[in-house]
Chain A
Amino acid sequence: MIKEKPNNKLIGRTAGDAVFDSVNTFILLLLCVVTLYPMYFVTCASFTKNTYLLTHQGSLFWPVGFNVGAYRLAFTHPLLLSGYKNILIVLAVSLPINIVLTLFCGYFLACKNVLLKKPILFIIMFTMFFSGGMIPAYLNIRDLGLYNTLWALILPGAVSVYNSIICRTAIEAVPDSLSESAYIDGANDLVIVFRIILPLIMPTIAVLLLYYGVGHWNAWFNASIYLKDNDKLPIQNILRAVLIANSNTLNSAATENDQVNEFAESIKYAAIVLTTVPVLCIYPFLQKYFVKGVMIGAVKG
Chain B
Amino acid sequence: MVASREKKELTLGHKLSRDYKLNKWKYVLILPVLVYLALFAYKPMYGLVIVFKNYKTTRGIAGSDYVGFMWFRAFFNDPYFFRLLRNTFTLSALSIIFGFPAPILLALMINEVQNTKFKRMVQTITYMPYFISLVVTCSIITIYCQQDGLFSNIAVLFGGERQNFLINVNAFRPIYVISGIWQNIGWNSIIYLAALSGIDMEQYEAARIDGANRFQQILHVTIPGILPTIMVLFVLRMGSILNVGYEKVLLLYTTSTYEVADVFSTYTYRMGLVNQQYSLSTSVGLFNTLVNVMFLVLTNYLSKKTTESGLF
Contact = CB atoms under 8 A, between A and B. Distances in A.
B124 A284 contact: yes
Contacts of B39: 140, 144, 155
A244 B135 contact: yes
A294 B191 contact: yes
A131 B289 contact: yes
Given A25-B113, A58-B150, A115 B201 contact: no
A115 B213 contact: no
Given A113-B1, A218-B133, A272-B136, A190 B25 contact: yes
Nearest to B250: A221
Interface in A1-21: 1-8, 11, 14, 16-17, 20-21
Contact of B197 (A1, A104, A129, A239): A1
Interface string B168-201: 0000000000000010011100110110110001
Contact of B152 (A57, A131, A164, A280): A57
Interface string A104-122: 1101100101111000100
Contact of B33 (A31, A108, A132): A108
Contact of B273 (A25, A105, A138): A138
A243 interface: yes
B118 A25 contact: yes
Contact of B142 (A32, A107, A243): A243
Contacts of A28: 109-110, 113, 118, 122
A84 interface: no
Contacts of B127: 283, 287
Interface stretch (A36-44, A65-73, A198-206, A248-256): A36-44
Given A105-B30, A158-B36, A139 B136 contact: no
A137 interface: yes
Contacts of B44: 131-133, 136-137, 139-140
A276 interface: yes
Contacts of B220: none
A173 interface: no
A124 B37 contact: yes
B97 interface: no
Contacts of A287: 123-124, 127
Interface string B80-112: 000000000000000000000000001001111
A24 B23 CA distance: 57
Contacts of B214: 16-17, 20
B272 A180 contact: no
A108 B32 CA distance: 12
Given A32-B125, A276-B132, A280-B128, A134 B48 contact: no
Nearest to A189: B25
Main secondary structure of the interface of B (DSSP, over half): helix
B197 to A, nearest CB: 5
B269 interface: yes
A196 B291 CA distance: 44
B118 to A, nearest CB: 7
Interface string B189-221: 011011011000100110010000111000000
B33 A159 contact: yes
Contact of B26 (A36, A114, A137): A114
* Size category of the binding interface on chain B: 35 or more
B135 A240 contact: yes
A34 B251 contact: no
Interface in B16-60: 16, 19, 22-23, 25-30, 32-34, 36-37, 39-48, 50, 60
A124 B289 CA distance: 18
A21 B40 contact: no
B247 to A, nearest CB: 5
A292 to B, nearest CB: 9
B1 A183 contact: yes
B129 interface: yes
Contacts of A36: 125, 128
Contacts of B33: 101, 104-105, 108, 124, 159, 164
Given A2-B197, A220-B133, A139 B47 contact: yes
A227 interface: no
Given A114-B19, A188-B25, A21 B251 contact: no
Contacts of A268: 139
A39 B139 CA distance: 11
Contacts of A105: 30, 33
A295 interface: yes
Q: Which 9 interchain pairs have the tightest Cβ spacing?
A: A132-B44, A136-B47, A218-B133, A133-B285, A189-B25, A58-B153, A115-B19, A243-B139, A136-B44
Interface of A: 1-8, 11, 14, 16-17, 20-21, 24-25, 27-28, 31-32, 34-36, 38-39, 41-42, 56-59, 101, 104-105, 107-108, 111, 113-116, 120, 123-125, 127, 129-140, 143-144, 155-156, 158-159, 164, 180, 183, 188-190, 193, 214, 217-218, 220-221, 225, 236-237, 239-240, 243-244, 268, 272, 275-276, 279-280, 283-284, 287, 291, 294-295, 298, 301
23 contacts: A2-B196, A14-B213, A16-B213, A24-B109, A31-B126, A35-B126, A35-B128, A38-B140, A39-B128, A59-B150, A104-B32, A107-B26, A115-B19, A115-B23, A124-B33, A136-B47, A136-B285, A140-B40, A140-B43, A244-B139, A276-B132, A294-B191, A298-B191
Given A107-B26, A135-B285, A272-B140, 11 more contacts: A8-B114, A21-B114, A35-B126, A108-B29, A114-B23, A116-B27, A155-B36, A189-B26, A220-B134, A240-B135, A275-B133
